[in-house]
Chain A
Amino acid sequence: MTVQVLARPVNKEAEPPTERAKNRHTMPLLGAVIVVWVVGWLIFRNHDTLVLSFQQQTDFHKWINDLRDNIQASAQHNWFFHGVIGKITTFFNWLVEQIQHLFSLPAFPRPVPQVGWLGVLVLLGWVGYAVAGARSAILVLVTVFLFGILGAWQDSVDTLIITLIAVAICVIIGLPLGIAMARNKLVSTLVTPVLDTMQTMPAFAYLAPLALIFGIGASSAVVCTLIYALPPLVRITEHGIRSVPATTLEAAGSLGVTKRQLLRQVQIPMAKRTIVVGINQCTMAALSMATIAAFVSSPGLGQDVEQALQNLDVGGSAVYGFAIVIIAIMLDRTTTAASERSEKQSAARVASVGGPGVMLVTVVLEHLPRWASEETKGRRPLPSKAFRRGILGIGLVVVAISIWLSRQYLSLASFPKSLDFGTDISNKVSDFSDWFVNLAEPVTNAFKNVVTYGLLNPLQSLLGESPFWLIAPVILALALILGGWRALAVSVVCEAIIFGTGLWHDTMVTLTMTLVATVLVMLVAVVLGVSMGRSRRADTIIRPVLDTFQTIPPFVYLVPALALFGPTRFTAIVAAIAYGVPIATKLVADGIRGVAPTTVEAARASGITRWQMIRKVQLPMAREALLLSTNQGILYVLSMVVIGGLVGGGSLGYIVVSGFSQDQLFGKGLAAGIAITALGVMLDRIARYTAARHGRA
């Protein structure tokens, strides 16, 4: 593009363009497409909108139902389902059940689990100390004790079990895969697109196909959690190994190391901290999926929240939601502390590798999300190895005694009822929420009305009431103008798939909510991100809040949104905004901070005002970050809008949920999952190709 511009003879008489040449055509074209759309909408309103009422089903939906019935009927005979899938299913179900009997479920003939609550508590505390140190151990002890106080002991432990099994399998598969990808280009080229797809698919969408294959229950839960949590670990491992500087590899090579030595003695030690951060990301992803897996009857807190939400029981969902949040915080802090520890331990080794090694650690640190390193400020010297071993040894004895005690006394085996305040807390929260919601009603209603009448309704009627043969080409035209031919090609395929699922109209409604929420997310993200990027103080205040928000699994966001706005589609939008803002804000802030200081200084030297600095220098230079942030914002919002189907969000999300609970709607639910995936891929690719075309200066 720019090369063409360069080659064009310069005509001094002609009015020179102020914007970049390619943008000059973009805006009028976009305008023209939208005008055509609106005119078409005015004329053909409510024709061919492809509305499908809730109980209506297409042949495709029925065909999936038949397919399911066939699979279930033939599962006993088919070698693939019986021999392979069946074995896997049985294994996971068996594994989960064994561990449950050990820690959370009554182990026949005993009326209580093998290990009682005291044993679990002390054991987890000991593990916390072993991987992450004393402070984490205390955090773990408090958190696990709270499980009982909240009256959610068994479900919390179940959630932990599912999460940790999935993480363990992720590590077994993910680490070798990540290392292989870093060392072998072919593997990387083959696996990367698969990871891309896995990460673009909203979590909700692959529950149904997995339930079809692995059946309802723990097995499906483990598999879907595994699939969801694997990509970040593989990606970060690959990045960590790859980030070892070429100069270091060269220096090692000059000493004549073998490939194996290089990996074991240079690459893995130097990437260790990054890899542990990958495990942290993997764990957080696993937890969030383990709660959503409630829809395929995963044991654990997810089901409690789901049921409470469906009954619109704010107090109940708040208690279980709170349990999920404290598990999230516990896992996040512990794995973060573990990664800092691994850095300290490897510090000596890295230093002996020399200057580049130390630089690497710094570089990696700068590229990691900030929360991964925030506690490094208060760094203390590690206790000596002998001391630590001693503590661990003593701890082991304490663990053994606790387990023995918890097997001897009933009050130490099942959490005492006298300490269970779950119902009380739930009632208090309900009362408080009623009071607060009444108090805040004028504000929340005003906000709701402005967004509903100003944004949501107009867009919904434009998208939902236009004939499909008008919207389809309009979307394709927008994709082409913004993202180019590749975006167009992807959009054609995705539109065809959505059309094929028979859920065109529902997809348009979901798209409406996604777009509205994304616009609001970006408004908030730009305001917050710019102030964070420009001011250290704003950053230190806002960032920890965003960090906390990011560790909360998406499910939990619905609780306060439900309390404030009741079961409407607006609730889903509010939850989606809360879910999308942190990631989008951080990306904007990083983009603003990434603007070269020399450029900022030069601009200041030309006497620029603050507003001009933001508008003419910082935002344009952060354009790539803005587009990336929009891209991420869309994906986060979409996944939340879909989950919001549970609390009145309607459309695709609700159909997916119904598919799990109503037998005859299974096919329609699965089709909705496919439509969500197609919509997500389409939005992601349009945003990504737009970023690629317009992002770089």
Chain B
Amino acid sequence: MTADTTTPTPVASGTTGEPALKVDSLWKIFGNRSDKIIGTSDADLSRKDLQEKTGCVLAVKDVSFEVAPGEVFVVMGLSGSGKSTLVRCLTRLIEPTSGSVVLNGEEVTSANEGQLRELRRKQVAMVFQHFGLLPHRQVIENIAFGLEVRGDDRTSRRRRAQEMVDLVGLSGYERSYPDQLSGGMQQRVGLARALAADPAILMFDEPFSALDPLIRRDMQNEVIRLHKEVGKTMVFITHDLAEALKLGDRILIMRDGEVVQVGRPDEVVGAPADDYVKDFVSDVPKSHVLTLKWVMRPARPGESDSGPALQCDTIVRDAARDVLAANGPVRVLDGDKVVGMVDDQDILRVVVAEEGTS
């Protein structure tokens, strides 16, 4: 948080090792008697076959993952892949059909209405694609809204809202109404509103899809900056791979409601789980994502004793200048240990391959 808010995030203190969010075999099927499907052989059917057979629409199929405290976890998929349904199931804005969601050790899926409300008020906050602002309230009142509904007193929620205004760079617009702001600024209000409650987890549902590309880049940088400043756990939904690679510590790729792959950006690009993902990442400038680990070759005997060295998680683009400037192969280290070598050829292969495809 900002300097004057010292509230520690509950997860970061103490309970290391325990995930901030744990999702276990979560299902969501829309339609009548959809709860009867899970566990039967129908559950193995593809989305299309299931709809033909039962009339039910499969949105989320047996999804499990964990998010570590402070991590930015991106869920990526095309429209209709079930990602927006998934994120709504996490706070039960949509009621999941089965499975469990545990948030900071608290079972969301079995919470009663009161507990669920408490959870939404204090633990999780969401940022929406279409902002969901209240047109009849000023910016500052919109930001303070979550605090107001949970019963914070006027002075403290005003102070808090003002801090958030400053944090997201909206100073001077406190008294404006949402319709007087541009799309990017409206989403900043949405962001500030989510941050105001000081939640343990922030969820973003395609927050920047409705914005034009330049504003979108600004807002992505804003999220990166905020993540550095406040260190929240974030679950980020997007259909934009570049955005996913840019923001995500880890990325979950969904298709037709199912998980296709979960991994770090370089894993997704370097080792796509199947053709679907491979096709997806084919346009990505690999040198911007892959680390040396993905391009190095095993060291030949005697090579690894001396000469320039780089860490194995250095991104290829950042390593290129050093490697090309070196007179021979460069050692790749994992901590102190030599794990491989890269030379000009290895670097150029990645960069030139890109030139070829683009």
Which A residues lie at the B interface, using CB under 8 A?
2, 5-6, 8, 10, 12, 15-16, 18, 20-21, 596, 598-609, 612, 616-617, 620-621, 623, 697
List, in ascending order, chain B residues with CB within 8 A of A620's CB: 134, 136-137
Taking A8-B175, A18-B141, A616-B148 as contacts, is the C-beta distance between A602 and B117 under 8 angstroms? no
* Nearest opposing residue in chain A for B172, CB measure: A10
Nearest 7 pairs between A and B by C-beta? A602-B132, A607-B120, A607-B121, A697-B136, A697-B135, A606-B146, A598-B130
**B73 in the interface, Cβ–Cβ < 8 Å?**
no
List, in ascending order, chain B residues with CB within 8 A of A600's CB: 132
Nearest Cβ on chain A to B262's Cβ, whole angstroms: 25
Nearest Cβ on chain A to B253's Cβ, whole angstroms: 25
Contact with A along B104-148 (1 / 0, CB 8 A): 000000000000111111101110111111111110110001101
Nearest Cβ on chain A to B354's Cβ, whole angstroms: 39
* Nearest opposing residue in chain B for A18, CB measure: B141
Say yes or no: B120 contacts A606, CB within 8 Å. yes
Can you name 12 extra interface pairs (CB under 8 A) apart from A603-B149, A607-B149? Answer: A12-B162, A598-B130, A598-B132, A602-B126, A602-B132, A602-B133, A603-B132, A605-B125, A605-B128, A606-B121, A606-B197, A620-B134
Contact with A along B208-245 (1 / 0, CB 8 A): 00000000000000000000000000000000000000
**B353 in the interface, Cβ–Cβ < 8 Å?**
no
Q: Looking at B131, B132, B197, which has the most chain A CB atoms within 10 Å of its CB?
A: B132
Say yes or no: B145 contacts A606, CB within 8 Å. yes
**B278 in the interface, Cβ–Cβ < 8 Å?**
no
Q: Give bound CA distance, A154 to B146, whole Å.
A: 66
Q: Give bound CA distance, A305 to B91, whole Å.
A: 61
Nearest Cβ on chain B to A13's Cβ, whole angstroms: 11
Q: Which of B125, B131, B138 touches A606 (beta carbons < 8 Å)?
A: B125
Which B residues lie at the A interface, using CB under 8 A?
91, 93, 116-122, 124-126, 128-138, 140-141, 145-146, 148-150, 154, 158, 162, 171-172, 174-177, 179-180, 190, 193, 197
* Nearest opposing residue in chain A for B171, CB measure: A10
Q: Give bound CA distance, A10 to B162, whole Å.
A: 11
* Nearest opposing residue in chain A for B199, CB measure: A606
Q: Give bound CA distance, A554 to B118, whole Å.
A: 50
Say yes or no: A621 contacts B125, CB within 8 Å. no
Q: Give bound CA distance, A606 to B136, whole Å.
A: 17
List, in ascending order, chain B residues with CB within 8 A of A602's CB: 126, 128, 131-133, 190
Say yes or no: B117 contacts A609, CB within 8 Å. yes
Q: Give bound CA distance, A601 to B128, whole Å.
A: 9
Say yes or no: A607 contacts B117, CB within 8 Å. yes
Q: Which of B93, B133, B158 touches A16 (beta carbons < 8 Å)?
A: B158
List, in ascending order, chain A residues with CB within 8 A of B131's CB: 598, 602
Q: Looking at A16, A21, A599, A616, which has the most chain B CB atoms within 10 Å of its CB?
A: A16
List, in ascending order, chain A residues with CB within 8 A of B120's CB: 604-607
Say yes or no: B132 contacts A2, CB within 8 Å. no
Q: Give bound CA distance, A617 to B172, whole Å.
A: 25
Say yes or no: A16 contacts B136, CB within 8 Å. no
Nearest Cβ on chain B to A443's Cβ, whole angstroms: 36
List, in ascending order, chain A residues with CB within 8 A of B148's CB: 616
Q: Looking at A20, A21, A607, which has the most chain B CB atoms within 10 Å of its CB?
A: A607
Q: Which of B126, B129, B134 touches A605 (beta carbons < 8 Å)?
A: B126
List, in ascending order, chain A residues with CB within 8 A of B135's CB: 621, 697
Task: Please name 5 pairs of A and B residues whose Cβ atoms are closer than 8 Å in the assembled complex, sorted by A.
Answer: A2-B177, A10-B171, A605-B120, A607-B119, A607-B122
List, in ascending order, chain A residues with CB within 8 A of B119's CB: 607
Q: Give bound CA distance, A201 to B304, whole Å.
A: 98
List, in ascending order, chain A residues with CB within 8 A of B145's CB: 603, 606, 616
List, in ascending order, chain A residues with CB within 8 A of B162's CB: 12
List, in ascending order, chain A residues with CB within 8 A of B136's CB: 20, 620-621, 623, 697
Say yes or no: A612 contacts B126, CB within 8 Å. no
List, in ascending order, chain B residues with CB within 8 A of A606's CB: 120-121, 125, 145-146, 149-150, 193, 197
Say yes or no: B133 contacts A599, CB within 8 Å. yes
Say yes or no: B130 contacts A604, CB within 8 Å. no
Q: Give bound CA distance, A486 to B237, whole Å.
A: 50
List, in ascending order, chain A residues with CB within 8 A of B137's CB: 620, 697
Nearest Cβ on chain A to B203's Cβ, whole angstroms: 8
Say yes or no: B132 contacts A621, CB within 8 Å. no
Say yes or no: B134 contacts A599, CB within 8 Å. yes
Q: Give bound CA distance, A15 to B157, whole Å.
A: 12
Taking A596-B132, A599-B134 as contacts, is the C-beta distance between A18 and B154 under 8 angstroms? yes
Say yes or no: B177 contacts A697, CB within 8 Å. yes
Q: Give bound CA distance, A612 to B117, whole Å.
A: 12
Q: Give bound CA distance, A233 to B179, whole Å.
A: 35
Q: Give bound CA distance, A621 to B145, whole Å.
A: 14
Say yes or no: B172 contacts A605, CB within 8 Å. no
Say yes or no: A604 contacts B93, CB within 8 Å. yes
Say yes or no: B132 contacts A599, CB within 8 Å. yes
Say yes or no: B154 contacts A607, CB within 8 Å. no
List, in ascending order, chain B residues with CB within 8 A of A607's CB: 116-122, 146, 149-150
Taking A606-B146, A607-B120 as contacts, is the C-beta distance between A10 and B174 under 8 angstroms? yes
Nearest Cβ on chain B to A611's Cβ, whole angstroms: 10
Say yes or no: B179 contacts A697, CB within 8 Å. yes
List, in ascending order, chain B residues with CB within 8 A of A12's CB: 162
* Nearest opposing residue in chain A for B117, CB measure: A607
List, in ascending order, chain B residues with CB within 8 A of A21's CB: 175
Say yes or no: B175 contacts A605, CB within 8 Å. no
Say yes or no: B132 contacts A16, CB within 8 Å. no
Nearest Cβ on chain A to B288's Cβ, whole angstroms: 34
* Nearest opposing residue in chain B for A602, CB measure: B132
* Nearest opposing residue in chain A for B135, CB measure: A697
List, in ascending order, chain A residues with CB within 8 A of B171's CB: 10
Say yes or no: B134 contacts A2, CB within 8 Å. no
Q: Give bound CA distance, A15 to B116, whole Å.
A: 33
Q: Give bound CA distance, A15 to B129, whole Å.
A: 32
List, in ascending order, chain B residues with CB within 8 A of A609's CB: 117, 149
Q: Give bound CA distance, A609 to B176, whole Å.
A: 27
List, in ascending order, chain A residues with CB within 8 A of B91's CB: 605
* Nearest opposing residue in chain A for B176, CB measure: A6
Q: Give bound CA distance, A238 to B249, whole Å.
A: 58
Say yes or no: A605 contacts B149, CB within 8 Å. no
Q: Which of B118, B122, B128, B172 touches A598 (beta carbons < 8 Å)?
A: B128
Q: Looking at A15, A596, A602, which has the most chain B CB atoms within 10 Å of its CB?
A: A602
Say yes or no: B179 contacts A6, CB within 8 Å. no
Q: Give bound CA distance, A184 to B190, whole Å.
A: 44
Q: Which of B149, B158, B179 touches A608 (beta carbons < 8 Å)?
A: B149
Q: Give bound CA distance, A2 to B176, whole Å.
A: 7
Q: Give bound CA distance, A353 to B295, whole Å.
A: 59
Q: Give bound CA distance, A603 to B194, whole Å.
A: 11
Q: Give bound CA distance, A668 to B249, whole Å.
A: 84
Say yes or no: B177 contacts A612, CB within 8 Å. no
List, in ascending order, chain B residues with CB within 8 A of A616's CB: 145, 148-149
List, in ascending order, chain B residues with CB within 8 A of A6's CB: 175-176, 180
Nearest Cβ on chain A to B245's Cβ, whole angstroms: 27
Say yes or no: A612 contacts B149, CB within 8 Å. yes
Nearest Cβ on chain A to B116's Cβ, whole angstroms: 8
Nearest Cβ on chain B to A534's Cβ, whole angstroms: 16
Q: Give bound CA distance, A612 to B138, whole Å.
A: 18
* Nearest opposing residue in chain B for A617, CB measure: B134
Q: Give bound CA distance, A181 to B91, whole Å.
A: 52
Q: Which of B128, B134, B141, B175 touches A5 (beta carbons < 8 Å)?
A: B175
Q: Give bound CA distance, A183 to B125, whole Å.
A: 51
List, in ascending order, chain B residues with CB within 8 A of A596's CB: 130, 132
Nearest Cβ on chain B to A25's Cβ, whole angstroms: 16
Nearest Cβ on chain A to B138's Cβ, whole angstroms: 8
List, in ascending order, chain B residues with CB within 8 A of A16's CB: 140, 158, 174-175
Say yes or no: A10 contacts B175, CB within 8 Å. yes
Q: Looking at B122, B126, B135, B136, which has the most chain A CB atoms within 10 Å of its CB?
A: B136
Nearest Cβ on chain A to B158's Cβ, whole angstroms: 6
Nearest Cβ on chain B to A607's Cβ, whole angstroms: 3
* Nearest opposing residue in chain A for B154, CB measure: A18
Nearest Cβ on chain B to A545's Cβ, whole angstroms: 29
* Nearest opposing residue in chain A for B124, CB measure: A605
